[in-house]
Amino acid sequence: MKTSSTRRTHRAGAQLAIWIACCVSLGCQTTTPGRGDIVYGAAAPVSSWQGTNFVGGSGTGGGGAAGESGGGIAGVSGGGIAGTSGGFAGVSGVAGDSGGGIAGTSGGFAGVSGAAGTSGAAGTSGAAGTSGSGGSPSGLTSLSFSVLTHALGGSYAPRNVGAIWIETPSGQFVKTLEVWAFLRAGHLNKWALDTGSNRVDAISAATLNSHSTHSPTWNLKDASGNFVASGAYKLWVECADSNNGGKNTSIDFTLGPTPTTVMPPDTQYFTGMQLSVQ
């Protein structure tokens, strides 16, 4: 049976052996402890691990792999916890100057984002269509007329004045097609009365020195520029060669739905008459 003195000797020897093992493992440099002292290798505070008590090893016995920027527990010389073979390396730390351990990695580089695609140019809008102009309600487009006038035996013969115009069957004025008179236009009694001497867009000329063929045309629009409705109309011709008025005649015709030609019989004062609508 061992004496108490022997037990104390063994205990002190064991403690000394533990202290030496710690120093060897951590590469510590210190003074030899006195008899009976209890020494623990990691007893120093964290703030002192980078200095006096614990100096990182150079790889012998596994000094911690703490990087200088590496996020490990220890600093530049970051020794690990006593009795282990390496410190806790930071996830993204680089191996320290004295680190014997393997520094942790950061798990790969972040992927580079792809460049944004270029947006396509906006399509060009098509040009607006042109609206079609309205046509004649009758579906026809024009009227043509021709007539040869003859002397009436007046005081100014063979000089003469005259007019050609369109009315409705009820006598409503529509459009003057031709007038050959200025100063003596007042002698065209019927034309002046029925039309109010309106010659808008009409063929106009002065008094003629002799009788001739007249060939006016009509675009089927009234004096206001609007297409007239389909239906029955009258074309009037008047001629005068004196101050007492003149002679006149009329031709009935219909606008729509089909082209038509009218050739009335000759009279004493008007011959070769022909009216065509198409």
Q: What does the pLDDT profile of the chain (278 residues) look like in tens digits?
A: 444 554 544 455 555 445 344 444 444 444 444 444 433 333 333 333 333 333 333 333 333 333 333 333 233 333 333 333 333 333 333 333 333 333 333 333 343 444 444 544 554 544 443 334 568 899 999 999 999 999 999 999 999 999 999 999 999 999 999 999 999 999 999 999 999 999 999 999 999 999 999 999 999 999 999 999 999 999 999 999 999 999 999 999 999 999 999 999 999 999 999 999 99
- Beta strands of 150-269 (E only): which ranges? 161-167, 173-180, 203-205, 213-214, 217-218, 231-240, 247-255, 260-262
Q: How would you class 92 by CB atoms within 10 Å of its CB: exposed for 0-12, middle for 13-18, buried for 19 or more?
A: middle
Locate 131 and state its tokens: 């609206």
Residue 278 and residue 273: Cα distance in Å, rounded? 17
**Helix and strand totals (H; E) in the chain:** 2, 10
Say what the pLDDT of residue 121 is: 55
Neighbours of 250 (CB within 10 A): 14
Cis peptide before 33 (omega within 30 of 0): no
Residues in the chain: 278
Task: Give the pTM.
Answer: 0.54
